[in-house]
Each structure stands twice: as structure tokens, then as C-alpha cells.
Amino acid sequence: MGFIGTIILVVIVIALIATNIRIVPQAHSYVVERLGAYQTTWGVGIHVKMPLLDKIAKKVILKEQVIDFAPQPVITKDNVTMQIDTVVFFQITDPKFYTYGVDRPMAAIENLSATTLRNIIGELELDQTLTSREIINTKMRQVLDDATDPWGIKINRVEVKNIIPPKEIQNAMEKQMKAEREKRESILIAEGQKNAAILVSQGKKESMILEAEAEKQAAILKAEAKKEASIREAEGEAEAILNIQKATAEGLKMIKDVQLDKEVLTLKSFEAFEKAANGNATKIIVPSEIQGLAGLASALTEVGKEK
């Protein structure tokens, strides 16, 4: 072999090596077969396969993936047919089992999801189906996860995306909801009117209580004012009587101080009765003391005439 042949051989070897170098990216895995049998699984990094002997059988994505299945016809326990579509979140945990465990894994998961959904919905009535999404999700995830474990697949979540009942059921449900809303509206209106009537009644009651309290306070103030006036009137009368008594006492004292004798007092009394006699009185009762004084006055008058 000449120089040119050596160069050609080196070029062929380099080309074979270059064409058999593989770089596995992050979150991926390659399943390698040698002569048709499983050889190894490549992880992230640079790998070299044997030319003409090794073959990359499958490139597997290890990230979480999502499958949105088409709506599936299911029948409820009360014989209502509806359409339900689901969304499955899964992740490949073993590339070898995923490659050799089942043919067409996505189709297998779809069919398994449809049959599991029919079994679960068949045990529920229509109303339960519409209100039991969480129960349906949980049961489906458990069943699918157990079934796909030999396939190297982990089912993380299953979500019921849509539940579509028949058109006539939808119309009936809309009418039912409308009636329910009207019922709630009527109840709210009645409760509002009831509360308003209660508030009006309470307002009238409080108003009457306040009016009665005001009248009571007014009567109390009036009685207190009347009592105060009576007290002041009584105090005025008592003061007037006291003044009269004081004046009488002072008059008697003055009479006592001037030492008037009995005859002077009798003459004064006589003068007082004389003034009374000039009035319209038809009869005058003269005390005995004044009558004696009158006799004395007549005797003195006769003595004067004789002289």
C-alpha cells in the first residue's frame, strides 16, 4: 500500500468515527441496539457507537409531556350519553421499558384512558358526573399509572377537560338554572322586603319610645316647676305672715312703751266705733267697756248744761 492508500484509509477511519459520534442533549436518552438486540441506554453527553454494528433504536424525551385526547362517548349510570375529553400528563422514567414494553405507547395510553373513563362514568349518574371531576381525575390517574408502570411511563396527572351532555340535557339544565336563579331572586326580594318592614317597625317602636320618654321628662320637669312654684309661694306667704307678726309685735311694743291707760284705749275704741256708725250698718254691738265710757260722757255733758 502506497502513501496515497494510507491517506485514503486514514480518511475513511476518521469519517467512520465522525459519523458514529453522537451527542445526547439534556432531558433526552438514546436506546442503542447491537445486531438487533438491546445493548445500552445513552444518557446526556458524547457517545460513539460501533460502525455497522450498533444502531440507535429510539430517541426518548424524558421531560413531562401532555396528550390531549379527543372527546370520548360515555354512558352514565342513568343511561345518558355524553362526550368527555381528557388531558394526560406523563413522563418516561425508563427508556428501555418504554421502547420494548408496548407497541405505540401513545395509542395504548389513549385506548386505556377511554376504557377507564367509561368504567368510571358508568358507575355515576349525570348529576354526579357533572360535579365529580376531582373524583374522576383521581381514579383515572391511579388506574393509568398502575397500567403504564411496566411500560416505563409515569402518569403524573389526569384532567377532565370538557363534559358535553346531549343538547336536550343542556336545554333542560339551562331551564333548571334559570328557574333556580329566579327562585333565588324571589327569595332575596322577599327577604329584602321582610328586613325593610322589620326596620320600619323598629323605627316606629323606637320613635314611640322616644316620644314617651320625652313626655315623661316633660311631665317630670312640669311637676318639678309646679313644686318649685308652690314652695316659693308658701315661702312668700310665710314671709308675709312673719312680717305681719313682726309689725303687730312692734305695734304692741310701741303701745306698751307709751304707757296708755285704760281710759285712753277705751276712747280710741269708741272713736273707731263712731266711724263705723257713720256707715251703712243698721246694728252695732258696743262692748260693755265702751258702754260704761258712754255713760260717763253723758254724765259729764249734763253737768256742763247745769252750769
Residue scoring higher pLDDT (141 or 271): 141
What is the average pLDDT score of the chain? Answer: 81
Please answer whether residues 69 and 88 qualify as being in contact, where contact means their C-beta atoms are separated by less than 8 angstroms.
Answer: yes
Q: In this structure, are 56 and 90 located in the same domain?
A: no
Determine which of 113-127, 131-145, 175-189 has the lowest per-residue pLDDT on average: 175-189
Rounded Cα distance between 32 and 53, Å, is 10
Domain identity same for 74 and 157:
yes
Beta bridge partners of 154: 91
Burial status of residue 91 (CB atoms within 10 A of its CB: 0-12, 13-18, 19 or more): middle
* 110 and 47 belong to one structural domain: no
Confidence band for 45, pLDDT divided at 50, 70 and 90: very high
| Domain around 43 | 15-60
Per-residue cell: 114: 377511554
> Nearest to residue 91, comparing CAs of 123, 63, 111?
63
Pair (158, 241) in one structural domain:
no
Domain count, the chain: 4
In a domain, 232, yes or no: yes
Reported confidence tier of residue 156, pLDDT bands at 50, 70, 90: very high
Instruction: Tell whether 111 and 138 lie within a shared domain.
Output: yes
pTM of whole model > 0.75? no
Answer with the residue of higher pLDDT: 226 or 63. 63
pLDDT tens figures, 171-221 = 877 787 888 888 888 898 888 888 888 988 888 888 888 888 888 888 888
Quickly count helices (H) and strands (E) in the chain.
8, 9
Residue 255 located in a structural domain: yes
Buried b / exposed e across 17-45, counting CB within 10 Å, b at 16+?
A: eeeeebebeeebbbbbbeeeeebebbeee
226-237: burial string, b at 16+ Cβ within 10 Å, e else? eeeeeeeeeeee
Same domain, residue pair 79 and 154: yes
**pLDDT higher than 70, residue 274:** no
pLDDT at 307 over 70: no
Closest CA to 29 of 63, 62, 53: 62
Asked whether residue 88 is assigned to any structural domain, the reply reads yes
What confidence score (pLDDT) does residue 267 get? 57
- The answer to whether residue 6 is domain-embedded is no
The CATH number covering residue 84 comes to 3.30.479.30
